[in-house]
Amino acid sequence: MLDAGGDPVERDAERPALRPVYRRPAPPRPRFAPPSVWVLSVVVTLLGLYGTLRGAAGIAGADDEEAALLLVFRTLLSAGQVACGAALLAGRRWGRTGSTALCAVNFALAVAGALTETLTPLQVWLGTAVNLVLFLALLGPRVYAWTDGR
């Protein structure tokens, strides 16, 4: 900063020099969605649609308020999966982040269902395996390159 006479202001000499901040270079974004992103977004969307339809049918036939509230929660999670699957295909970063978070939540719910014995062993194994595979696939470099920066 210069004063009216063009000389540097005294406080500039007291301030430490700024250092450049290193940022990891972003991979170039592909022009079209890679096949792995297509498959992931379709799987996440179809699982969300299945859960939403199943939850809506369960809410209609729920007997007590507690079961209906749990079904509403699961239906909202499934609707979030549908939205995140569509956003993932569109290349939005929040689609990748939301899908990853929802896979982690569904994984935790499958483990909780196993601990409380509300799910059958087949449901627990399928729920944990599918969500773990989806979680790891969503962390892949092609998905990251497709969704980064948007």
Q: How far apart are CA 94 and CA 87, in angstroms?
A: 7
What's this model's pTM, rounded to 2 decimal places? 0.75
Q: Does 92 map to a domain?
A: yes
Q: Does 63 map to a domain?
A: yes
pLDDT for position 63: 85
Q: Does 4 map to a domain?
A: no
What is the number of structural domains in the chain? 1
Q: Does 60 map to a domain?
A: yes
> Which residue range(s) make up the domain with 70?
35-147
pLDDT for position 83: 97
pLDDT value at 27 more than 70? no
Q: Does 122 map to a domain?
A: yes
Residue type, 145: A
Q: How far apart are CA 139 and CA 97, in angstroms?
A: 9
Q: Does 7 map to a domain?
A: no
**pLDDT, tens digit (0-9, with 9 covering 90-100), for 55-110:** 988 888 888 888 888 889 989 999 999 999 999 999 999 999 999 999 999 999 99
Rg (the chain; Cα; Å): 24
Q: Does 14 map to a domain?
A: no
Q: Does 5 map to a domain?
A: no
